[in-house]
Every structure is written in structure tokens, then in C-alpha cells.
Amino acid sequence: MSHQRDADVQRVSTPVQHTALAHPVRQRLLFALSARPSTISRLAARLGVNKGSVSHHLKVLCEAGLVRDAGTRTVRGGTEKYYRRTAERLLVDEPQPEGTAALFGAVAQELDRSPSDHLLTLRHVRLSPAKAARLAEALAALVDETEEDAEGEPVHGLLVTLYQQAGA
């Protein structure tokens, strides 16, 4: 977290938060809410999921403190309720297998629905601990320093991981 403001980062550490992250639809909702606050109807249309399911998953995310109410707006005699993420970035303390699997499942669904070409590369390299630490720091800095374009531009997902293979 070299350049990220603390207010933009939420630590994920409780069992309730880990459970909330252990579903691909909830992961995709978090992706969708990274752009701007949204309503249940808009989220359902964007994700291709029914409104009842979106409502349920938003409730789980709200109870875990990962999403919050972002206000309401009156339209055509009704009221639209908006939701937003509580932080721009989640920092997961001690990632749980279920949450990691859900994250990758959600990313796979997003890649499948992407309207443009995407980059997906997996490479295994032999690195000393010092070189791995430098690479991790450089990758984190690249992510932190990537500046967003103006509102209205397409949202792109970015998933970066560096891990040591088990038994290697």
C-alpha cells in the first residue's frame, strides 16, 4: 500500500467479511460498485442477475461492512436506493480459500462478459526471496500509481498476484 490513502483501503479480517467474499456474485457486485454508486435494478441489469439475488447479496455485503447505503433518489413516484463500496480497495488479511476461489470465479465471469480483448498471462519463474520482494513492490507501485481517466470511460479490471508455489 505504498501510495494508497488509508481512507481508500478497507482491511478484510473478520469471519463475516471472509464469508461475504466467498461468492462470485458478491465479488462481481464489488467490481460493479467500484465505478460509482448504483441501484439494485442497475446492478441486476449490468450483471445479468435477478433483482432478488442482487438484493440478497447486497444485504450480505452491507452486514459485512463492505458496502453501504449511498442515499436515495425519487424517480417517477418511486424511490431508488443507491449502494456504494465502503472503500476503493480491499486488503484481505490472511486470504481464505473460499474467498480466493470466488474472486477467481468472478474474474472468470467478467472476462467471459468483457466486450473487448483482455490480457491473461500465467508464468512461473524462479526468483530469490529478495528478487520476489522487489517484484511484488514494483507491481504494487504500478497498481497504486495507475491514474484513472475521466468519468464515462470504460472500467477495466486489474488483478495482480505474486505467489510462491507450494512445494517449489
> What CATH number does the domain containing 64 carry?
1.10.10.10
User: What's the length of the chain?
Assistant: 168
Q: Is the pLDDT of residue 132 over 90?
A: yes
> What percentage of residues in the chain have a pLDDT greater than 70?
95
Q: What is the pLDDT of residue 2?
A: 42
Instruction: Kindly state the helix (H) or strand (E) to which residue 52 belongs, with its residue range.
Output: helix 51-63
| 100 neighbors 108 (Cβ within 8 angstroms) | no
Q: How many CB atoms lie within 10 A of CB 105?
A: 15
In a domain, 59, yes or no: yes
User: What confidence tens digit (pLDDT) does each residue in 95-117 have?
Assistant: 889 888 888 888 888 888 888 98
In a domain, 46, yes or no: yes
Q: Give the alpha-carbon dihedral of 2, 70, 110, 158, to 10 degrees.
A: -10
- The single-letter code of the amino acid at 79 is T
Tell me which residue of 21, 40, 42, 18 sits closest to 30, measured CA to CA.
21
For residue 138, give the 3-state DSSP assignment. helix
Q: Is the pLDDT of residue 161 over 50?
A: yes
Q: What is the pLDDT of residue 35?
A: 74
Give the three cell numbers for residue 113: 462478459
In a domain, 53, yes or no: yes
User: What confidence tens digit (pLDDT) does each residue in 28-69 have?
Assistant: 999 899 878 999 999 999 999 999 999 999 999 999 999 999
Total H helices, total E strands in the chain: 6, 5
Q: What is the pLDDT of residue 4?
A: 46
Mean pLDDT across the chain = 88
Q: Is the pLDDT of residue 82 over 90?
A: yes
Q: How many CB atoms lie within 10 A of CB 112?
A: 8
**DSSP code for 63:** H
Look up the domain containing 82 and give its range. Answer: 6-116
In a domain, 131, yes or no: no
Q: Is the pLDDT of residue 22 over 60?
A: yes
- What is the total count of domains within the chain? 1
| 93 neighbors 11 (Cβ within 8 angstroms) | yes
